[in-house]
Amino acid sequence: MRPYHKIPIVESNEPLVKIPLELFAVENPHPYENLGANYGQHSPYFLRETVVEKLISAQNHLHSLHPGWYIQIFDAYRPVNVQQFMVDYSFAQLLTEKGLHESDLSPQELEEIWQKVYDIWAVPSLDLKTPPPHSTGAAVDITLVDDSGEVVNMGSPIDEMSDRSYPDYFIDRNSEFHQVRQLLNDVMIQSGFTRNPREWWHFSYGDQMWAWLSDQSTAIYGRLL
């Protein structure tokens, strides 16, 4: 369990709605669908209705600061089966990167690999009390695109399983990377989102992590599917 899983959920029953993609930049093709993930009846570009409204507000605020810049949506709603798919994919990816075979590893070595995976990925839990944030329709993974149409270099790619994913990793290392991460954070915080302390790209509103980080007594969005 993560600390935010202690927060109770009082489901609002607010619907998932399609993100108006014409207002944003979009990762294309969608990274997880491109790997073979099956999102079922909803595309990954859905969020709870209020979350979409707040995301539009953040985009408008970004435009007021940097005309021509866009929030680029990497991933949003994610059913638990997709969470499981990406956890398994990331585990296999780590083994490949390290030149390891699962059958050759001791229980302790396996545990160390899984810990690296779960430093980034939420457990694909089916327990309604401990939903992965993205399965609630409350969380979105994003980056920035500048006025020349180029994706802004944030110092590390989304989903990188390393310390560089921590939002403040570059605070004393590279002021440019830290500044653009702070810009992204500022426009999202201004619209009511909170940022995952482990991931510079992950923001949410209304889920358990949001409630935990913003000192709310309850979350308003639980798992949908």
pLDDT by residue for the chain (225 residues), tens digit each? 899 999 999 999 999 999 999 999 998 889 999 999 998 877 899 999 999 999 999 999 999 999 999 999 999 999 999 999 999 999 999 999 999 999 999 999 999 999 999 998 999 999 999 999 999 999 999 999 999 999 999 999 999 999 999 999 999 999 999 999 999 999 999 999 999 999 999 999 999 999 999 999 999 999 997
| Calpha distance 205→214 (Å, rounded) | 10
What is the reported pLDDT for 225?
A: 77
Say whether 112 is catalytic.
Answer: no
Q: Which ranges of the chain would DSSP assign to H, the alpha helix? A: 31-35, 49-65, 80-98, 107-120, 175-190, 208-213
| Torsion-angle region of 57 (φ positive above 0: left; ψ -120 to 50: alpha; else: beta) | alpha
What is the pLDDT at residue 40?
83
**Which of 97, 112, 176, 199 does the annotation list as catalytic?**
199
* Cβ atoms of 184 and 144 closer than 8 Å: yes
- Report the CATH number of the 3-213 domain: 3.30.1380.10
